[in-house]
Chains A and B, each alone.
Chain A
């Protein structure tokens, strides 16, 4: 099976702009989660989507939003970019089919966002 893919891999944006990141989960996985990784804060949970609905949300401002499509692919959007949004954004997918071993999360390579 192909792994989780994320596009683009690298992105440079200017303060005030908006950005959209994309994530394609492993085939058959219904849950997609997003994380922000920075040297200062480490790995922080942004939100999780399951069957096109946001099921969990972390403590990030409303500028961070996402959505999931019927094929489980997910996008994450950040509006009015700030310098502090520079980070590696990771996407993870999981089966989430109700069995105890299905909740392992598989991570993508990440999108490196630089805000100047």
Chain B
């Protein structure tokens, strides 16, 4: 069975400071990892996925298979980054089941 752990429920960071949201997973295969974000009063939306290796809104995430981690990072936090962030795991292509972590509420302090 797969599991996703986000150890921080709440995270407060000053504007301009670096941000790191932690995500660890357990799965015996080679999963696809995602970060989803939910801004206030908006629907859950995909922020980035491992396979794309993109930087979205300044955020990046590196998959570390040795540590089974997929931490989300941004060098300089902005106020509009305040939101709920969820790390999610998809077992493999063709299996749409997403296993979500419990989420981290990020608050950027002006």
Contact = CB atoms under 8 A, between A and B. Distances in A.
B74 interface: no
A53 B34 CA distance: 25
Given A56-B97, A58-B97, A101 B43 contact: no
Interface of A: 3, 31, 33, 35, 42-45, 48, 50, 55-56, 58, 90, 92, 94, 96, 100-101, 103-110
Interface in B27-66: 32, 34, 36, 43-46, 49, 51-52
B97 A101 contact: no
Main secondary structure on chain A at its contact with chain B?
Answer: strand
8 contacts: A42-B101, A45-B99, A56-B96, A56-B97, A96-B96, A100-B51, A100-B93, A101-B52
Nearest to A88: B44
A12 B45 CA distance: 26
A74 to B, nearest CB: 12
Given A43-B86, A100-B51, A103-B90, A55 B96 contact: yes
A33 B43 contact: no
